[in-house]
A and B are shown apart, each in its own frame.
Chain A
Amino acid sequence: MINRSMEMTRSSEFAIRTRGLRKVFNGKVAVRDLTLEVPRGEVFGFLGPNGAGKSTSVKMLLGLVFPTSGEAQILGRPVGDVKTRSRVGFLPEHFRFYDWLTPQELLNLHGRLYAMAHAKLRERVPALLDLVGLTPHRDKRLRDFSKGMLQRIGLAQALLNEPDLIFLDEPTSGLDPVGRRLVRDIIRAQRDRGATVLLNSHLLGEVEITCDRVAFIKDGEVVETRQINDDNEDPITVSVKSPNVTPEIADGLSRWSRSVRTKPEGLTLSVLSRAVVPEIVRYLAASGVDVYEVTPQRPSLEERFLEIVGTDGGL
């Protein structure tokens, strides 16, 4: 009994929780073993090469695809629970809807499917059209929309019910830089109001800017989960532009650095924390070295992605 109650409390801490989730289509394994915990209020990135099982995983969490085995919960309830869906928003990878509707009609229809009150819809629909920049196009039919405009209206419908959990599958696909910035701002705003966002994207730069944490998926499994911008997580590479570093001075840097490589124009160090950079600068200055530039760099998400999935993209 106590275990069950502890389990429930633990479940409610997470917006998404899966254990050994597996999906096999006609003998082909799409998702091997998805075990994942996404705390509430987090922006979580889902990364992986094509065919890694990201979209199938998202579809299983949304109840669109039935798992072959394993367990999954969203917002503390088993996936597929109809009531929970009223607290979930979803932007599919290729948002398609009845193209004979206007954006206003589309949002009203989705609002009614969410059982939202008319008064609430009267307030939400114009506000969302304004947010995604489609107010001037509110009376056009969706069939006359560009790909980017469809993506924007898809995003608006995903936010309509002020969801606690939002699944965004490639939300910046088809968007210009202004649209991408809009998506970033919207994701931040959602996090600020306490919503959890699961972002499925190929654009690693976008993920790096937006997400708190990411999971790398390969062959239907989570191979690594990591915090973004966490000083304790990865070694930092520090490049120092300084032409007159002697081997003795370089040796003195070993107290902060795991490896020191000297080059004619300076040196490159690998350190565990950004906090040691000022000490290194002070040491070099005290040693009489001319320091022109010091650049601490964390290996980009892209580098880590390529390291994990390989340059063949998992194909």
Chain B
Amino acid sequence: MGIWIMAGVTFREAARKKMLWMALAAGGAFLILFATGLHFQAKDFAAHGMSPILRREISFAMVIMGLYAIDLLAVLMTILTSIDTLSGEIASGTIQAIATKPVPRWQVVLGKWLGFCGMLTAYIAIMVSGVNAVTYAMAGVTARHLARGLSLMWMESVVLLSVVFAFATYFSTLTTGVLTLGLHGLAFLGGWIEQFGAMAQTPRAVNVGIIASILMPSEALWRRAAFEMQSPLANSLRISPFGTLSVPSIAMVFYALLYLAIALAVAIRGFSRRDL
């Protein structure tokens, strides 16, 4: 019961504080810009008499580009909205009035986590649907294996959310932000090293990327999502800039699930044992 009360209040907080609405407004602005770009692109394709196959492939690349932008927005929104929820409430003492209620501490953490998950689910579903609706309307294409890609993008945000929660039970808001963004930055850089390593056929560089993904699997989930959603031709020709030269395996996806579960368990354990 306590879990759902905390989840509800966390979701309502995001809505009342206009976090969700502002993020959706920024996403809406992005969709307008994206649609405008696609509109002019479609006009130019028609004017130059581009072949349908090439036109389709470029449109596929545009879908992935749009989804990549949404992925970045979702990552930032996940970190920025959740960063203050535990550490900030511990520092301000707001948590004291809740932690003295007949609700076990694990339910407080899990409830807050579920509230943010709900918000992220709504945000990612709306924005990914928006990108696909725009590309379908303008160019007649949508992402391939959309459900798989969407699930992986969602999982990436939930991994980051769980990491924020784990850090927030031990560190201040600022430290939590620095650590989480730092880890994601490491994964991002590792992902590119892995891509270039694969391109240059240097296995050691690929291994560096894999190690970075083990330390933080968020970026690997995006690259797997991009692989699932890209056109088969782009995947087989390995011409995409969005990370399909070295594709993270299914084992990496399961590892990310385990990583998520461990991060959440650390958050629950840390919060249940710390002084407030």
Q: Contact: B13 with A85, CB < 8 Å?
A: no
Q: Cα distance A64–B89 when bound, in Å?
A: 13
Q: Contact: B276 with A59, CB < 8 Å?
A: yes
Instruction: Give 1 or 0 for each of A76-99: 1 = CB within 8 Å of chain B CB.
Output: 000000111110101011111110
Q: Contact: A115 with B1, CB < 8 Å?
A: yes
Binds A, one of B91-99, B117-125, B185-193, B235-243: B91-99
Is B273 at the interface (CB under 8 A from chain A)?
yes
Q: Contact: A82 with B96, CB < 8 Å?
A: no
Binds B, one of A105-113, A181-189, A246-254: A105-113
Closest to B108 in A: A113
Q: Cα distance A109–B10 when bound, in Å?
A: 12
Is A127 at the interface (CB under 8 A from chain B)?
no
Q: Contact: B275 with A109, CB < 8 Å?
A: no
CB distance from B85 to the nearest CB of A (A): 11
Q: Contact: B100 with A88, CB < 8 Å?
A: yes
Is A235 at the interface (CB under 8 A from chain B)?
no
Chain A 171-224 interface residues, beta-carbon cutoff 8 Å to B? none
Q: Contact: B101 with A113, CB < 8 Å?
A: yes
Task: Given A83-B102, A85-B102, decide whether A95 and B97 contact each other with a Cβ distance below 8 A.
Answer: yes
Is B17 at the interface (CB under 8 A from chain A)?
yes
**Main SS class of interface, B:** helix
Is B147 at the interface (CB under 8 A from chain A)?
no
Q: Contact: A94 with B16, CB < 8 Å?
A: no
Q: Cα distance A32–B12 when bound, in Å?
A: 43
Is B9 at the interface (CB under 8 A from chain A)?
yes
Chain A 42-67 interface residues, beta-carbon cutoff 8 Å to B? 59, 62-66
Q: Cα distance A82–B99 when bound, in Å?
A: 10
Most buried by A among B101, B275, B276: B101
Q: Contact: B103 with A113, CB < 8 Å?
A: yes
Q: Contact: A64 with B275, CB < 8 Å?
A: yes
Q: Contact: B97 with A112, CB < 8 Å?
A: no
List, in ascending order, chain A residues with CB within 8 A of B5's CB: 109, 112-113
Is B104 at the interface (CB under 8 A from chain A)?
yes
Is A100 at the interface (CB under 8 A from chain B)?
yes
List, in ascending order, chain A residues with CB within 8 A of B273's CB: 66
Q: Contact: A82 with B104, CB < 8 Å?
A: yes
Is A257 at the interface (CB under 8 A from chain B)?
no
Is B2 at the interface (CB under 8 A from chain A)?
yes
Q: Contact: A64 with B1, CB < 8 Å?
A: no
Q: Cα distance A268–B276 when bound, in Å?
A: 52
Q: Contact: A100 with B16, CB < 8 Å?
A: yes
Candidates B2, B17, B92; contact of A100 at CB < 8 Å:
B17
CB distance from B127 to the nearest CB of A (A): 24
Candidates A25, A86, A157; contact of B97 at CB < 8 Å:
A157
Interface size class of A (residues with CB under 8 A): 20 to 34
CB distance from A83 to the nearest CB of B (A): 6
Q: Cα distance A95–B94 when bound, in Å?
A: 7
Task: Given A109-B9, A112-B5, A113-B2, decide whether A64 and B276 contact each other with a Cβ distance below 8 A.
Answer: yes
CB distance from B83 to the nearest CB of A (A): 16
Instruction: Give 1 or 0 for each of B1-28: 1 = CB within 8 Å of chain A CB.
Output: 1100100010001001100000000000
CB distance from B56 to the nearest CB of A (A): 48
Q: Contact: A113 with B102, CB < 8 Å?
A: yes
Candidates A83, A94, A95, A113; contact of B98 at CB < 8 Å:
A113
List, in ascending order, chain B residues with CB within 8 A of A83's CB: 102
Instruction: Give 1 or 0 for each of A109-136: 1 = CB within 8 Å of chain B CB.
Output: 1101111000000000000000000000
Q: Contact: B16 with A115, CB < 8 Å?
A: no
Q: Contact: A96 with B102, CB < 8 Å?
A: no
Q: Contact: A98 with B276, CB < 8 Å?
A: no
Task: Given A113-B2, A115-B1, decide whether A65 and B101 contact each other with a Cβ distance below 8 A.
Answer: no
Candidates B16, B94, B102, B275; contact of A86 at CB < 8 Å:
B102
Closest to A92 in B: B96
Q: Contact: B275 with A66, CB < 8 Å?
A: yes
List, in ascending order, chain B residues with CB within 8 A of A95's CB: 97
Q: Cα distance A101–B276 when bound, in Å?
A: 23
List, in ascending order, chain B residues with CB within 8 A of A109's CB: 5, 9
CB distance from A144 to the nearest CB of B (A): 14
Q: Contact: B92 with A96, CB < 8 Å?
A: yes
Chain B 93-139 interface residues, beta-carbon cutoff 8 Å to A? 93-94, 96-104
CB distance from A6 to the nearest CB of B (A): 29
Q: Contact: A97 with B97, CB < 8 Å?
A: yes
List, in ascending order, chain A residues with CB within 8 A of B103's CB: 82, 113
By Cβ-Cβ distance, the 7 closest A-B pairs, closest first, are A113-B101, A86-B102, A85-B102, A100-B16, A65-B275, A64-B276, A96-B94
- Would you list 23 pairs from A and B whose C-beta atoms are within 8 A, ordered by A residue? A59-B275, A62-B100, A63-B99, A64-B96, A64-B99, A64-B275, A65-B276, A66-B273, A82-B103, A83-B102, A84-B102, A85-B100, A85-B102, A90-B96, A95-B97, A96-B93, A96-B97, A98-B9, A98-B94, A100-B17, A110-B97, A154-B97, A157-B97
Taking Cβ atoms with an 8 Å cutoff, the residues of B that contact A are 1-2, 5, 9, 13, 16-17, 92-94, 96-104, 273, 275-276
| New contact pairs (14) apart from A85-B101, A157-B97, CB-CB < 8 Å | A59-B275, A64-B275, A64-B276, A66-B273, A85-B100, A90-B97, A92-B93, A92-B96, A92-B97, A97-B94, A97-B97, A109-B9, A110-B97, A113-B5
